[in-house]
Amino acid sequence: MAERRRVVVTGMGVVSPLGDTLEEFWTRVVAGESGIARMTLADPEKYPCQVAAEIKDWDYTRYMDRKDGRRMARFSQFAIGAARMAIEHAQLNLEGIDRERVGVVMGNGGGGLQSDEEAVRTMDTRGGMKVDPFFVSKRLNNMAGANIAIQFGLLGYNTTVVTACAAGTQAIGDATEVIRRGALDVALAGGAEAGICELGLAGFSSMRALSTSFNDTPARASRPFDRDRDGFVPGEGSGVLVLEGLDHALARGATPLAEVIGYGVTADAAYLVAPSENGAGAARAMRLALRDAGVEASVIDYISAHATSTDVGDLTETQAIHTVFGERATQIPVSAMKSQIGHLLGGSGGVETIAAVQALRTGWVSPTLNMDQAGEGCDLDYVPHQARRVNPRIVLKNSFGFGGQNAVLVLQKYEG
């Protein structure tokens, strides 16, 4: 049986509420800063949630031609920015490699939700024939991946994973599988989302999914695992990784940043917006990822949690971790990046996986802000308040989405 092709990360790009360079993002993560403030992309006065984690002073012309950018929705602009930075970080010379062997796998949840809102407002006030002629091509979920391919001339396998909040992580896992089976040498993979608008705010508010108790103190609103958590904080952004077959990376002289060694996906097949009881589906995904990596649960040094700051979600993720890791569960650092950047929905997995790779590279794991007093049943080591030097060798990344979508990665420090 042929040896399985190894897949490594060679570049990363991030557009986030904590900065739109990898360096700024990670510096602010380790410093324990929050990117959450009063919402400005929509007028929140009529709604119970008035805070968000937004990209400030966004200027897409730093990453693409103005004309091209005007024809894209905001989530695609974020993806182009993150992809360009990832390519540069990887020192990937696209002129010197076979572009038919370079592809794109992106995760997304809602597509161009802002474009939907704008189109409906225009149709209502000015008539349907005044709707932006680029509306359809802006709003489609696949357009982040499509626009990346167009911008950089990437001719290989291209697809979009639309599994709600699991999408970014699942896209990275799917891209890993495509490289493993030999269909690509290089993939740009991750997630992108930009759904902060009145339509998104109204939808999530009506289902009572958002935090409502900390409008006057926005940085305190996202509080995973805490007793006073009361819903997630909407966020936006994109994280894109350059994944390569190890043989290809070494042949071109690239420096691997980390290795993707395991991947698991399951469905709860239970509820539309709630996880299965005791986190059973999440636990199965973690076990599948560990089995795919060929490692025991005992070697995991750190867990990057999904942890949205919802009552049921955080509890069931804790229960799933207990199921998989047994007595050792309380000894493993578990942190929740959404406490700093809010919930980027389909973009979360891309940005949070980049943070997991940074943990392997730097030794530091991100903190869980606002974890003042653990909620009932939340009894793990959640790295409260401050980043911690853990020096992990192998980490596990969880992402779970509406519809019972579960995606888990196992990442390892590259050791040759």
Counted residue by residue, the chain has a size of 416
Phi, psi of 102 (to 5 degrees): -120, 125
49 is catalytic: no
Q: Smallest Cα–Cα separation from 186: which of 294, 64, 91?
A: 91
Distance between CA atoms of residues 227 and 169, nearest Å: 27
CA distances from residue 184 to 3, 102, 174, 187, 262 in whole angstroms, order as listed: 17, 6, 12, 7, 18
Q: Smallest Cα–Cα separation from 338: which of 203, 236, 212?
A: 236
Pick the catalytic residue: 89, 197, 248, 306? Answer: 306
CA distances from residue 15 to 26, 113, 133, 354 in whole angstroms, order as listed: 11, 18, 27, 11
Q: How far is CA 76 from the centre of its chain?
A: 15
248 is catalytic: no
Contacts of 20 (CB under 8 A, 6+ apart): 14, 55, 58, 81
Burial grade of 153 (CB within 10 A; 0-12, 13-18, 19 or more):
exposed
Pick the catalytic residue: 49, 165, 197, 378? Answer: 165
Pick the catalytic residue: 89, 248, 322, 343? Answer: 343
Distance between CA atoms of residues 364 and 393, nearest Å: 11
Q: Smallest Cα–Cα separation from 333: which of 275, 388, 282?
A: 388
Catalytic residues: 165, 306, 343
